[in-house]
Amino acid sequence: MTHPVKWGVLGAATFARDFMARAIHEAEGAQLVALATSSIEKAAPFQAFCPELEVFTDYDALLASDSVDAIYIPLPNHLHVEWAHKAMDAGKHVLVEKPIAMTAGEIDGVIAKRDATGLLCAEAYMIAHHPQWARVRALVTEGVIGDLVHVDVAFSYNNAADTGNIRNRADTGGGAAGDIGVYAFGCARLVTGQEPEAITSTRVVREAGVDVTTEITAKFPSFAYHGIISMRMAPYQEARFHGSKGVIVVKTPFNARVAGQAELEIRLSDHTRIETFPAINHYALQVENFCRTVREGAVYPWDLENAKGTQAMIDAVFAADQGQ
Q: Which amino acid is at 305?
A: E
Question: DSSP state, 52?
Answer: T
Domain of residue 174, CATH code:
3.30.360.10
How far apart, in whole angstroms, are the C-alpha atoms of residue 12 and residue 20? Answer: 11
Strand 198-207 and strand 93-97: the pairing is unpaired
pLDDT of residue 50: 97
Binning pLDDT at 50, 70 and 90, where does residue 319 land? Answer: very high
Residue 79, amino acid: L
Q: Tell me: do 14 and 84 sit in the same domain.
A: yes
The whole domain housing 210 covers 131-279
Q: What is the tens place of the pLDDT at every residue in 228-264?
A: 999 999 999 999 999 999 999 999 999 998 989 999 9
Residue 305, in any domain of the structure:
no
> Average of pLDDT values for 43-72?
97
Asked if the structure places residue 36 within a domain, the reply is: yes
In a domain, 151, yes or no: yes
Looking at the predicted structure, is the pLDDT value of residue 52 above 70? Answer: yes
Beta strand segments in the chain, E: 5-10, 30-36, 54-56, 70-73, 93-97, 121-124, 148-158, 198-207, 210-219, 224-230, 232-243, 246-250, 263-268, 272-276
Provide the pLDDT for residue 324: 65
* pLDDT of res. 182: 97
Per the domain annotation, does 238 fall within a domain? yes
- In this prediction the pTM is 0.95
Domain with residue 100: its CATH number is: 3.40.50.720
The reply to whether 82 and 150 lie within a common domain is no
Confidence of residue 56 (pLDDT cuts 50, 70, 90): very high
Determine the length of the chain. Answer: 324
For residue 2, is pLDDT > 90? no
Query: How confident is the model over 23-44, as a mean pLDDT?
Result: 96
Residue 46 CA, chain-centre distance (Å), reads: 22
Q: Is residue 307 part of a domain?
A: no
291 assigned to some structural domain: no
97 and 196 both lie in a single domain? no
Give all strands of the β-sheet with 232-243 in edge-to-edge order.
Answer: 198-207, 210-219, 224-230, 148-158, 232-243, 246-250, 263-268, 272-276
Integer Cα distance of 173 and 166 in angstroms: 8
Q: Residues 288-311: pLDDT tens digits?
A: 999 999 999 999 999 999 999 999
Quote the mean pLDDT of the chain.
Answer: 96
Q: At CB < 8 A and 24+ separation, what contacts does 39-43 make? A: 39/12, 42/12, 42/17, 43/12
Q: Does a structural domain hold residue 25? A: yes
Sheet with 30-36: strands ordered across: 54-56, 30-36, 5-10, 70-73, 93-97, 121-124
Cα dihedral 11/288/91/45 (nearest 10): 20
pLDDT at 1 (0 to 100): 45
| Residue 246 is assigned to a structural domain of this protein | yes
pLDDT interval class at 322 (50, 70, 90): confident
Residue 146 shares a structural domain with residue 210? yes
- The DSSP element (H or E) to which 34 belongs, if any, is strand 30-36
Condensed to tens digits (0 to 9), the pLDDT of residues 165-204 reads 999 999 999 999 999 999 999 999 999 999 999 999 999 9
pLDDT class of 323 with cuts at 50, 70, 90: confident
Which amino acid makes up residue 2?
A: T
Q: Looking at 55, 90, 125, which one is the last position of a domain?
A: 125
Overall domain count for the chain:
2
The closest of 251, 116, 256, 140 to 190, measured between CA atoms, is: 140
